[in-house]
Amino acid sequence: MFSNKKAKETSLSQPTEQKSISPTETLEKGMVSLIDVIAPSSVEVDFNYIRIGERFYKTFFIAGYPRYVSPNWLSPVIDFSHSLNISMFIYPTSSSDVLSDLRRKTAEMEATISSQIDQGLVVDAKIQAALEDAYGLTEELAKGIERFFQMSLYITLYSDSLAELEQASKRLESTLSSLLILPKLSTLQMEEGFKSTIPFGTDNLFITRNMDTTSLASTFPFTSATLTQDKGIMYGLNQQNGSLIVFDRFSLENANEVVFGKSGSGKSFLIKLEAMRQFMFGSEIIIIDPEGEYEAISKTLGGEYVSFTAGSPIKINPFDLSGMYVEGENELGLKILSLHGLLRIVLGELDATHDAILDRALIETYRQKGITTDPATQKRQPPLMEDLYKVLLGMEDPNSNELALRLEKFIKGSLSGLFNQQSNFDIRNPFTAFSVKAMEDELRPIAIHIVLDFIWTKVRKSLKKRLLILDEAWYLMKYEDSASFVYGIAKRARKYYLALTTATQDVQDFLSTDYGKAILSNSSIQILLKQSPTEIDTVSKIFYLSQGEKELLMSVGVGEGLFFAGQSHVVVKIVAAPFEKELATSNPQEVKEMQERNALYQSATAPQDISTPQVNPTESISQSNPIPEPSRQFPVAEKQPQDVNTQPANPISQNNFPTPNKPEPEIF
């Protein structure tokens, strides 16, 4: 019975056991786990290499180091032109252990030397040198100046073919030898070598070498780390080591940038790229465009392109006040200063008497409108230029009358439309460009000054991350008053979360005033593109360029130059994705090709568009526009949905993408 029971139990338990394991096992066997997916199909470990999947790997350990090293001595290895993994293990060691070892070693060496002397032999120079090192190290360790470490350094090369791997290994060995580093192949330990150079942090080889703090510090390989931040936008490629230059301007001590380069060197291209990239990261972009180059890009990005001329419906009153009260700032005083600057450009040379009269007249003009330094009064409607004119006439002084006469043509003549009306425009679009191209040359600096002042007044009203771009800044910088105004913006921009970009081809004009120099020193990012021989000396003096850098800047191609940020500078190449290039280029041939393609595109899509007139323009942009759309909605696109399909042909905005029409300016 006993046995019976047992037999029964066994017979019962067996199927139960099978039942409890087999379903899971069977299921597991039939399933693909994550490891199955990521594991290589095979691994072959040879004496001198390891093959994982289709790729071959070879690991070297460093057996000997040079006696003296300079900072960043490992950089030729870091910049080696073949893919490799480098791993470095650092083990701190207690100084007291090392000291006793050192004492023993020193005693041994002293004994060897004295026995050599006793035997009448020449003292071995190597031992002599080692002994001196040991003395020095003992002293520094004892004083606590140095600490002691052990370090291991492994390099794994990899390649798709064994022949290529062999060739790269030879090159690596010769590169290392030129640095007086002695590499050895980790023969028969390829697997351990491989494992030591993958980012697991395990040292499976454990071949170490003693190092003191100084040597260890100079081994640290990442010298260009300051030009690669973990956030921000990409500016270009670091030509020295192929790494990316990624920067967040807003994280620097100020967010300003200057770009210098001769005409055609790629300044506007660079600025457009940066504007697009910053825009995608949520910055608002405001551009002053003296040459009319930014229309295509602003329209494609759903932005607003404002053409500022005497006859345009858009009016800007330079007397506008921000209506904001900022502790420690006299809003009216600053405004009067800026108006004074503007009027000096408008009216021409002013002597001291004129200056004093103008100041009094400006204060009086505001006062007549009930506006004083009291912030509460500053929300009232501002005066107009003609109010100033009347005040000047009313002063009944020959000097003030003369000023009034000089101002007359801007109030009564054809130019009255320029700045003698209340503002009827506000910056609502997150991408707004102001063009002053249509203005005559001599009026352009005045228009730029007015627009810049208007933007500055608006910008201070609400705090937002903004980029203000002043292309062809030399238009303004040649006038001392405008230069001083731009400098004021550069200096105070940070407080308002504003990044100012100024670009100029005329370096001498820009830097001839102290304001220009001050703008430069208030810009954390400085980019030098190709320079003309006439400018290079000025540039190299200001930037302390070496002879090599000077020559580089004269011979580089379009879109290449030097990128300065903080203390470091590197050779940069500005690179654009094809869709970015289409938007940023000003090359007439490329623009024409784009227009032709666009015409083709429009004729191909026209019937379909007519049949679906209610298409959401925001959708339409994102479908055909390869630029990832920023998460915000463009007010322009929302406002006039039907315009996408009824857009008239516009020679400049004709690019690959259907663009929403420019809206009428918002009138408040």
DSSP state of 649: P
Sign of CA dihedral 205, 208, 214, 218: negative
Of 302, 269, 271, residue with least CA distance to 581 = 269
Minimum distance from CB of 471 to Mg ion (Å)?
Answer: 6
Compute CA distances 432 → 61, 162, 199, 272, whole Å: 57, 56, 46, 13
Within 24-53, which residues bind ligand ADP (CB under 6 A)? none
In the complex with ligand ADP, which residue's Cβ is closer, 176 or 527? Answer: 527
**Residue 421 makes contact with ligand ADP by CB under 6 A:** no
Taking CB under 6 A as the rule, which mask of x and - marks residues 559-578 in contact with ligand ADP? x--------------x-x--
CB of 475 to ligand ADP, least distance (A): 14
150 CB-near residues (< 8 Å, 6+ apart): 90, 91, 93, 208, 209, 210, 211
By CB under 5 A, residue 501 contacts Mg ion: no
Taking CB under 6 A as the criterion, the residue among 263, 373, 381, 568 binding ligand ADP is 263
Work out which of 75, 138, 587, 616 binds ligand ADP, going by CB under 6 A.
587
By CB under 6 A, name the one of 215, 219, 256, 265 that touches ligand ADP.
265
Report the C-alpha gap between 259 and 560 in whole angstroms: 12
Measured distance CA(486)–CA(453) in Å, rounded: 9
Using CB under 5 A as the binding criterion, the count of chain residues that bind Mg ion stands at: 1
Within residues 259-278, the interface with Mg ion by CB under 5 A covers 268
Q: Could you tell me the smallest distance in angstroms from the CB atom of residue 593 to ligand ADP?
A: 12
Contacts of 667 (CB under 8 A, 6+ apart): 424, 425
The least distance separating Mg ion from the CB of residue 509, rounded to whole angstroms, comes to 15
Nearest to 386 by CA among 318, 458, 307: 318
The smaller minimum CB distance to ligand ADP, of residues 193 and 261, is found at: 261
Q: Which is nearer to ligand ADP, 260 or 485 (CB)?
A: 260
Indicate which single residue of 193, 261, 383, 561 sits in contact with ligand ADP (rule: CB under 6 A): 261
- Please give the sequence-ordered ranges of beta strands (E in DSSP) within 251-390, or none if there are none: 257-260, 284-289, 304-307
What binding mask, one character per residue, do residues 202-241 give for ligand ADP by CB under 6 A, x or -? ----------------------------------------
Cα–Cα distance between 424 and 668 in angstroms, integer? 6
The contact pattern for Mg ion, residues 219-258, with x = CB under 5 A and - = no contact, is: ----------------------------------------
586 contributes a contact to ligand ADP by CB under 6 A? yes
Sign, CA torsion 602/607/609/610: positive
Tokens 């102290």 -> residue: 514
CA dist 297 and 293 (Å) reads 9
Residue 586 contact among Mg ion, ligand ADP, none, beta carbon within 5 to 8 Å by kind:
ligand ADP
Rounded CA-CA distance 237/575 in Å is: 7
Give the nearer residue to Mg ion in terms of CB position, either 166 or 291: 291
Q: Which is nearer to ligand ADP, 428 or 581 (CB)?
A: 581
Nearer to ligand ADP, 175 or 532 (CB): 532
Nearer to ligand ADP, 585 or 655 (CB): 585
C-alpha 246/C-alpha 563 separation (Å) is 11
How far is 411 from 336, CA to CA, in rounded Å? 19
Q: Residue count at the site for ligand ADP (CB under 6 A)?
A: 15
CB of 621 to ligand ADP, least distance (A): 23
Taking the complex as a whole, the smallest distance from the CB of residue 247 to ligand ADP amounts, in Å, to 17
* Closer residue to ligand ADP in complex, CB, 273/483: 273
Q: Could you tell which of Mg ion, ligand ADP, none binds residue 587, using a CB distance below 5 to 8 A set by kind?
A: ligand ADP
Q: Candidates 9-17, 185-193, 266-274, 477-485: pick the segment binding ligand ADP (CB under 6 A).
A: 266-274
Question: Which segments of 378-441 are extended strands (E)?
Answer: 431-435
The interface partner of residue 508, options being Mg ion, ligand ADP, none and the CB cut-off 5 to 8 Å by kind, is none
C-alpha–C-alpha distance, residues 637 and 622, integer Å:
11
Tokens 């090392």 locate to 98
Residue 658 neighbours by CB distance under 10 Å: 23
Kindly list the distances between the CA atom of residue 352 and the CA atoms of 52, 152, 170, in Å, as whole numbers in the listed order. Answer: 83, 74, 77
**How many Cα atoms occupy the beta-carbon half-sphere of 322 within 13 Å?**
23
| Residue found under tokens 């238009």 | 475
> Does residue 532 interact with ligand ADP by CB under 6 A?
no
Write out the residues near Mg ion by the rule CB under 5 A: 268
Write out the residues near ligand ADP by the rule CB under 6 A: 261, 263-269, 558-559, 574, 576, 585-587
